[in-house]
Structure 1
């Protein structure tokens, strides 16, 4: 079978399986399993593909036709320019979540720069405290690990209730050489001390909505990381209520939210005493991140 025939076969099978991004994924399969990128394809589209490679391709292609996500099959997903290991114990990192990391990293860098400018001497700068960051419901660790990599002067803690998720996060921390602390517990359970930033992408999909999601999500991604209970706000309420006890003065909280949850989150945070509560949009122009500051009285 030629490379062209293989590509056409992949494309047709993915399209017939109802996979929306079949065009992109057909090239991804070609690159992943046959080690042929687009440039190489166009240089030799009629080259013959070895039988053993076709057998390997067939095995994973059948799984993809059953709507197993491509990222789980490949065992990786790019996030913030880093390759994260993923499997069915964790959510697949989304581009939307990069918005949260970008906002947090920009703020951390700005505050560190401001503190350095205000330091009177070299001794003050040497004694400067590290920024402490808590990533709640960490999953793969993509949020906290990315912050640790992009802001080396931070002290990052990753927390999750799932032992499996923490195993994945630990693997990613090791693979990416990120110095982070991992804690198992339900939200703030087993968390000690205070933090300058709490970052979280908690479960926020209303329970009844999950069954209407695409098969890749509802059948393969962990429901524990998706289900925000009746109205999708259960975890936000609990985190917002307890967060002040774990934030330093003027500590900040960053949430990823569903596109229609901005107003509800703004109300919950204002009610708990957070100030400067803002809703930030993603690249599609949808509400995606809510941030706020807790000024201790």
Structure 2
């Protein structure tokens, strides 16, 4: 690796060397990630690092940065290292108990907001609570229930509700999908596991090695969770109620067939920013 021009122990030198290591580990945007890690370790804004590249890095911050950098070089997701992730207009705590919210999933929120304002909202496989909390933040008259198989995930979602001022309008439960719930929901959201089992090992290491397999593995054809959820929607939805389900790439036709077999109307779909069909919108008659 090439020498770094700034003095040893300075912000610039730390960023230079970290960027080199991250690039060698095939991390995208290595300089940006180095800056984010160092600014977090030092407790300063990232722009301050750019303004003062020759400023010294305090010893304690250097130790924190080194530990964080080693985790990132092992392809641990940045969200887990920092402990938080932005989604919609919210800042959410994240942990290895849940998937890290993706910008692609904001398509589910966008699709949900196209319909009438719901009174009762259900989020199946809630994870961080990102979908439910985003919808509640836009519909101040709604109340929501989030369910996750993992008690740790349900507890994390509850903390996110508190942190975002929404705890009085939602509750989070640990359970298997909606088995313990009665119906009457106006809107149901879900980002279920939809990766085919055989494809998980080939995902980027940040996902395959660090995010929870139960939240990724959709079975041999990626549709196991949809079969359970879609079959239960007629019972769970109020008359005229809608469901918005996240899709894996190319899964729209297969999930639509499941919905039609369950007697649900397929209202349409909504693409993410990459143009991928990401949200399927269903309705009970």
TM-score, normalization by structure 2: 0.92
Tell me, which stretches of 5 or more residues in structure 2 are unaligned?
1-8
Which has the higher mean CA deviation after the structures are superposed, 10-19 or 221-230? 10-19
2:235 counterpart of 1:245: yes
How far residue 38 of structure 1 moved from its aligned partner, in angstroms, is: 4.6
Conserved 8 A contact 2:155-2:172: no
How far residue 54 of structure 1 moved from its aligned partner, in angstroms, is: 0.7
Relative to structure 1, the CA distance from residue 239 to residue 15 in structure 2 (aligned partners, 3 Å threshold; closer, same or farther) is: same
Which of these residues, 121, 125, 143, is aligned with residue 137 of structure 1? 125
Q: What secondary structure is seen at the aligned counterpart in 2 of 1:157?
A: strand
How far residue 59 of structure 1 moved from its aligned partner, in angstroms, is: 1.1
Which has the higher mean CA deviation after the structures are superposed, 52-61 or 20-29? 20-29
Tell me, which stretches of 5 or more residues in structure 1 are unaligned?
113-129
Conserved 8 A contact 2:246-2:280: yes
2:61 counterpart of 1:48: no
Relative to structure 1, the CA distance from residue 229 to residue 276 in structure 2 (aligned partners, 3 Å threshold; closer, same or farther) is: closer
Q: What CA RMSD, in Å, does the superposition of the two structures yield over aligned residues?
A: 1.4
Structure 1 stretches of 4+ with a deviation exceeding 6 A read: none
Partner of 2:73 in structure 1? 65
How far residue 223 of structure 1 moved from its aligned partner, in angstroms, is: 0.5
Aligned residues between the structures = 275
Partner of 1:148 in structure 2? 136
Q: What secondary structure is seen at the aligned counterpart in 2 of 1:152?
A: coil
2:227 counterpart of 1:219: no
Distance 1:43 1:282 in 2: 36
Distance 2:136 2:174 in 1: 19
Which has the higher mean CA deviation after the structures are superposed, 30-39 or 44-53? 30-39
Which of these residues, 179, 182, 185, is aligned with residue 175 of structure 2? 185
